[in-house]
Structure 1
């Protein structure tokens, strides 16, 4: 019976839906139901339309309009305000007041409009569900373009828009009251020439920001603020910001942000870091992003307090620092960080860095895996990859190309506990260690030479060197050749010593030949059977 009542109400709404018109030649005393009997003011129309009604606005400039929706739409029967054909303009004249205001209303669709010269372009407040704002321009605004502060937004769409030349934020959801906000989409936009942040978004769940461009902002380009969880930022192009490009931030560290994803974004010329995770960021993914200069800032910066970062497949160029985590304050922590398969090129100082200041702080479980550092550490005294005061560090498969200071180490480990340097990619790597409990390993048992104070050890599945003294070592790997001889044999390598001499035993196949060999140290694993084809 309930379904029957609902269906009856829906049919009643459709049957009673009316299309109204607004035009510069209209009159608010007319019926408004045809172009010839159109209303004159947009504000008059928004006070009268009900669920299922549509308002078609003819092109032209409507001056000093302040439209407030008096009624709400319903599922299947939204209130629609849209252009009749070409865009209509709402001109506030004196940069005061609000062009369009929606409070505690749902199922309203607004499109095809151009707002300029107001204090606020569009303001939403209270409970707002299933709003659709599309195909619009907001410009020359004294405050914020779209002001949604403290609104409980649910299932709303804001798309295909331009916001430019605002003194305040372009798009803001600054939530003073911690109202629920979830499943919203902001897409296909241009935001430029903004006197504050491009987008500030607080207390959102599963919100999606995609396919947009933000440029020339006085502060952050896009800022996820307190209690923002499971949001996705992708395909956003950000160019020239006065502070961060993209930021995730809980300044008071009592309303953290978790499980957010930043991917396929481009950030350039962010004055205080391209992507900045500052206090209260947990379980974040940053992937497939391109981050470019300027040379006095940082590519990806994770600091103060947080845990769980996977930054992978990113390209970072022309930075002061490329990948950086740490700098925790007293009593704070950074944990569980993985920098994987990133390319960092042309850094002034560190290509990758994990650094904790002394004191009651925690920096733990930090991994740099399969990253490539190209022309990094261009200033003397800095290194491609640095870890200082880290508990449990994992360095695996990184490569260092065209280091700019030849005598400086590629890797520096200081006061590192439970450290592992695994499977260096390059034939030559210089490592500086002090006050460190770590080891260098090749997981395939690869033979290598080093000039350090400890002895190298080789086993059936791993080659190892202990890194626990105050020393700088140079690690070299070589290729192996065997020549000349005859027939086929199996070569059993017992071990390599640090001079590169091979101790060997022959297990011969039939027919038994007399074998003479020469060799150089290389890629064949110790304690393994290696089939060698020899000339005869």
Structure 2
């Protein structure tokens, strides 16, 4: 009887487990082998991914470096929750984490001796990795080139793609063809880490669906030889809700025939977060919010280099926070096209806060003439800096009820122009309050509590726009509508009132330091995943509060454990990925949860 009870307990204890088997693929293998060792490896990735192989949930398939040619790999088996199927490339030893060290302009070639390579040989046809309707797969350490599509995953969920290098996708003579990585339509909960796409004609990385996470993904294009069709159109394209991009980078290299759309949110896109992303070299829109379904998104700490921010076709209620535009033709453009129902409105109720717009070569804010005649209205710029530019405004579109609050406008040559790209003259309808106009080629406009004084930047020639002691902008702003934190995450106000401009005057260091200025509080690691530690060795530990970047309190979602007198453990597993502010007494720091 005792023996039967023990067997029953063993069965219960193991009923939820999944057997885990390791298989191998190499160029020296054979698909008739068992696949259970390197000596008995299979020959093709296609076989390992097919339903004919024994690979199932919880299994790992190691693929040795080598040129696997023009395989069209169709994944026919899904993993399971807690038991994904892993397909992982390796160099010499399974699990050795190969790194191609691919870097634009330095090391741009594939190398089959480092990671497995799929080479379709014809970029006008075929898909390298087809994961349609698959779930719980992890794909690591692959090189892919010369297919129409690199990775295709419609209706796919809970995939992980990591360390994928892809190049040369699509017919360079077709009107719109070729994608590097395409998740969707109707995909969700997929993660991309350290993936790079080079010269896909239509789309570098395309994400359709909800709750995807991209970190350190890149897209480049430098194909100037094949006209509009060869140069990349969309570098990273997002169409869905609650997606997060962290530390992603896109670059249009040179004056390519296609103007390029850098990081683009289009169609129905709500509650997405773009954090610490960079778009470089696009003709106009480094970051593009496009269509009336694009709402309630946050762009934070992003940089547009040689390009700007496009609000078009009705994108509304979005926040652009702590972002920069440098040397764009137009730093911000509002316009409307025949897309998404035609003329209605260009964009409204978008808020730019703590942003820095430097040295636009034409107009800083462009109400652009385009296909449709419609207004841009009720957009607000608060605690922003507009430094340099030919014109502050170009008015070739109706504009109403837009506002600047707590802003600095300096070194801009002209105020505004109209009838530039079309014949009708549109008046500028913009209100100004608690802002400073200095060293411009025009007189300050009419407004409320405006200054015309030197803001006393620390070193504007070297792009340091911190306020010096004695600046007239200190404490001269209004708290109404002002962001809770400044460009560096310092809490507002630091003095008797809100400062004008993106930086609150303070004697403490920036939020990206682990230590406070007096060494009293330390947060680590930052960025973090599930756990953050707060150390306060010099003083009694103050109460800790947690806020998101909109100022909403999330303290109740964080479990705090006092480890000793000086250290607290913060369990952040109840928070979504993104940026948060940790406040403790007079201390405030921005932290990132990946």
Q: What secondary structure, in the 3-state scheme, does the structure 2 residue paired with 1:298 have?
A: coil
Aligned length: 387
> How far apart in 1 are the matches of 2:121 and 2:310?
39
From 321, 328, 331, the equivalent of 2:363 is 321
Q: Distance in 2 between matches of 1:257 and 1:166?
A: 25
Match of 1:302 among 334, 339, 362: 334
Stretch of structure 1 that moved more, 206-215 or 318-327: 318-327
1:138 aligns to what SS in structure 2?
strand
- Pairwise CA RMSD of aligned residues? 3.0
The DSSP-based 3-state class of the residue aligned with 2:48 is helix
TM-superposition CA deviations, 1:39-66 (whole Å, max 9, x none):
0000110002222221101111111111
Contact 1:64–1:92, Cα closer than 8 Å, also in 2: yes
Match of 2:389 among 325, 338, 347: 347
Q: Does 1:106 align with 2:170?
A: no
1:268 Cα offset (Å): 1.5
Per the normalisation by structure 1, the TM-score is 0.66
SS in 2 for 1:44: helix
1:491 is matched with which residue? none
1:28 and 2:28 aligned: no
Instruction: Give runs of aligned pairs for residues 214-225 of structure 1, distance below 5 A.
Output: 214-216=250-252, 218=258, 219-225=260-266
Among 153, 173, 182, which residue is 2:210 paired with?
A: 182
Question: 2:152 maps to which residue?
Answer: 123
Match of 2:77, SS state, is: coil
Distance 1:223 1:116 in 2: 24
The answer to whether 1:364 aligns with 2:392 is: no
| Mapping of residues 167-316 of structure 1, within 5 Å | 167-173=201-207, 181-193=209-221, 195-216=231-252, 218=258, 219-250=260-291, 255-270=292-307, 274-294=308-328, 297-304=329-336, 305=345, 306-316=347-357
TM, length-normalised to structure 2? 0.60
Aligned-pair distance for 1:123?
Answer: 0.9
CA contact (8 A) 2:156 2:184 kept: no
Aligned partner of 1:67 among 61, 73, 78: 73
Residues 402-417 of structure 1: pairs in structure 2 closer than 5 A: 402-403=439-440, 405=441, 408-411=442-445
Q: What's the offset of the Cα at 1:10?
A: 10
1:424 positional shift: 1.4
Q: Which residue of 2 aligns with 1:52?
A: 58
Q: Describe the SS at the equivalent of 1:128.
A: coil
Return closer, same or farther for 1:205/1:381 CA change in 2, 3 Å cut-off.
closer
Q: Which runs of 5 or more structure 1 residues have no equivalent in the other structure?
A: 1-6, 176-180, 414-420, 429-441, 445-536
CA distance in 2, matches of 1:13, 1:32: 26
Superposed, 1:473-488 pairs within 5 Å as none
Deviation string for 1:474-502 (max 9, x for gaps)?
xxxxxxxxxxxxxxxxxxxxxxxxxxxxx
What is the deviation of 1:228?
A: 0.6
Q: Which of these two proteins has the greater Rg computed from alpha carbons?
A: 1
CA distance in 2, matches of 1:10, 1:185: 34
Q: Specify which of 37, 42, 46 is matched with residue 40 of structure 2.
A: 37
Structure 2: gaps (5+ residues): 1-9, 99-114, 171-176, 223-230, 337-344, 419-424, 455-475, 479-594
Asked if the contact 2:18–2:83 (Cα under 8 Å) also holds between the matched residues in 1, the reply is no
C-alpha distance after superposition, 1:470-527 (max 9, x if no partner): xxxxxxxxxxxxxxxxxxxxxxxxxxxxxxxxxxxxxxxxxxxxxxxxxxxxxxxxxx
1:158 aligns with 2:184: no
Greater share of residues in strand: 1
Specify the alignment match of 2:582 in structure 1. none
Identify the residue that residue 500 of structure 1 maps to in structure 2.
none
Question: Per the alignment, do residues 376 and 65 of structure 1 end up closer, same or farther by CA in structure 2, a change over 3 Å counting?
Answer: same
Aligned equivalents of 1:318, 1:377: Cα separation in 2 = 11
SS in 2 for 1:37: coil
- 1:78, 1:107 within 8 Å by CA — same for their partners in 2? yes
> What is the deviation of 1:168?
2.6
Q: Distance in 2 between matches of 1:286 and 1:206?
A: 16
Deviation at residue 209 of structure 1 after TM alignment: 1.2
